[in-house]
Amino acid sequence: MPHLDERLKKVARKIRVKTHADIGSDHANLLVALLRSGRVAKGIAIENKQQPLFHSEAALLGLNAEARLADGLDGLVEGEADSLSICGMGAESIVSILSSHPKRIPELIVLQPNRRADLIRRWGIDSGFHLVDEQIAYGHWPYVILTYRRAGHGADPAYRQIDHQADLLLGPWLVQRREAAFVDLLREEQRYWEQFTQISDASLERRNAIQRVLKRWTLL
């Protein structure tokens, strides 16, 4: 069984279904772990380049799985998978993939963007997927892991409207849980931003959101 880093371990713990699809799996370590642990019965790896496809095919040999050469959700048929994961990409790429074939997205999706998780949170609100959990895997970087379920209509209850902008930028579940490691992470980021006299509008927006959340916590 392949060794999973903390990031992929947290992703794997969110998945227990019959058929799981992983887009951009490269060496298919996540799928192999899910299959060998019995968390999924069948796996589908989707790659858009030949070399990663070869890697996935080799890793999945002898398992109930297949690797497909396709561009994102082009490689999945509607209703074919029960869950989907996309890990290790920028949020822009992830949102582009999800927006290309919305009807092909399974009921459960687990996403790990390398940056700009707020773009995925905005996508979820606009696309009828509710954010049922979010975690941080602390490694070389703090990686955010977002778990969504298709909900259709209705406001996402994860967003309590205390500070909607801060929730989008920092994560509603992370803010609500207020775990010590997350508090330390925000304080560290606040200190980082304080060393600059000029920053971009997007960075200023994030810095201000962190300041508001930390101030609110001190008043509780």
Instruction: Write down the pLDDT at residue 218.
Output: 87
pLDDT along the chain (220 residues), means of 10: 83 97 92 96 96 94 96 95 96 97 97 95 96 93 96 88 93 96 95 90 93 89
Instruction: Write down the pLDDT at residue 206.
Output: 94
Tokens of 49: 């380049």
